[in-house]
């Protein structure tokens, strides 16, 4: 079964602090894909990143970075020098690589990040 | 269009009525998905299409829910005999293929009173 756990329901930080959002996943697939999406108050889910299970290299994009560790089944997301505009709900998601799990996204419950000025 | 478009953005209907929700995907995207999001939850998968056919409809909660994509582009999610528990935001997404990232529309907020 596919499962994504985001243990942090809410996080509050002050602007310019670094913050890490945790994501732990479960899957029996050897090929799978991991995603992060941002959902601002407007409601639209915004795609941030997609990684496949064979690529464990960490990735940095501006103030965003992602740490993928297969050994701990984690795909954590760090925002450096947070800004008020980063306030949103962040979702981690998993998609299988074949069969009945291919195509569909399994989402965690999300982490509400609030950045105070 | 540039992004995934969903109409209407809001729909209020009476219990027992029939509703249709429309999704216009990104041009050229072969895969189209429907999700449902309740307050405080992550989106839950309903169905996805590869071209015109429903490749996986295992997430549809019961036979009151049905979706079509007759020409491989626009899709319609149909809900018969709506119930108050159907109230949620219905999200549509599309992707170039089923292994590439999905882009979401702004959703349709359905309220059944």
| Residue range A33-54: mean pLDDT, rounded | 93
- DSSP summary character for residue B3: S
Given a contact cutoff of 8 angstroms between Cβ atoms, the answer to whether A80 and A18 are in contact is yes
pLDDT tens for each residue of B28-69:
999 999 999 999 999 999 999 998 988 899 999 999 999 999
The answer to whether A100 contacts B58, with C-beta atoms less than 8 Å apart, is yes
Q: How many residues are there in chain B?
A: 113
Torsions phi, psi of B17, nearest 5?
-85, 165
Model confidence band, residue B1 (pLDDT cutoffs 50, 70, 90)? low
User: Taking CA atoms, what residue in A is nearest to B94?
Assistant: A103
Could you check whether the bond before residue A80 is cis, i.e. omega within 30 degrees of 0?
A: no
The answer to whether A50 contacts B101, with C-beta atoms less than 8 Å apart, is yes
CB–CB contacts below 8 A, A to B:
60
pLDDT of residue A59: 87
Token pair belonging to A17 = 């602090």
The answer to whether B33 contacts A50, with C-beta atoms less than 8 Å apart, is no
Is the pLDDT at B92 greater than 70, yes or no?
yes
Is the pLDDT at A100 greater than 70, yes or no?
no
């Amino acid at each position: 079964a596919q499962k994504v756990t985001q243990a942090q329901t809410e996080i509050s930080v002050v602007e310019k602090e670094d913050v890490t959002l945790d994501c732990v996943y479960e899957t029996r697939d050897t090929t799978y894909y991991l995603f992060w999406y941002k959902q601002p108050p407007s409601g639209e889910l915004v795609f941030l990143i997609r990684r496949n299970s064979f690529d464990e290299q960490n990735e940095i994009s501006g103030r965003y970075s992602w740490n993928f560790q297969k050994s701990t089944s984690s795909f954590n997301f760090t925002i450096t020098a947070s800004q008020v505009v980063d306030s949103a709900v962040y979702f981690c998601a998993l998609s299988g690589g074949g069969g009945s799990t291919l195509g569909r996204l399994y989402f965690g419950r999300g982490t509400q990040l609030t950045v105070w000025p | 269009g540039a992004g995934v478009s969903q109409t209407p953005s809001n729909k209020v209907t009476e219990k027992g009525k029939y509703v249709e929700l429309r999704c216009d995907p990104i041009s050229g995207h072969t895969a189209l998905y429907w999700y449902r999001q309740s307050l405080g939850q992550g989106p839950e998968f309903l169905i996805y299409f590869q071209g015109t056919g429903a490749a996986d409809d295992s997430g549809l909660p019961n036979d009151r829910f049905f979706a079509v994509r007759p020409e491989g582009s626009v899709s319609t999610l149909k809900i018969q005999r709506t119930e108050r528990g159907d109230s949620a935001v219905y999200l549509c997404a599309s992707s170039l293929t089923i292994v590439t990232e999905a882009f979401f529309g702004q959703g349709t907020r359905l309220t059944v009173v």
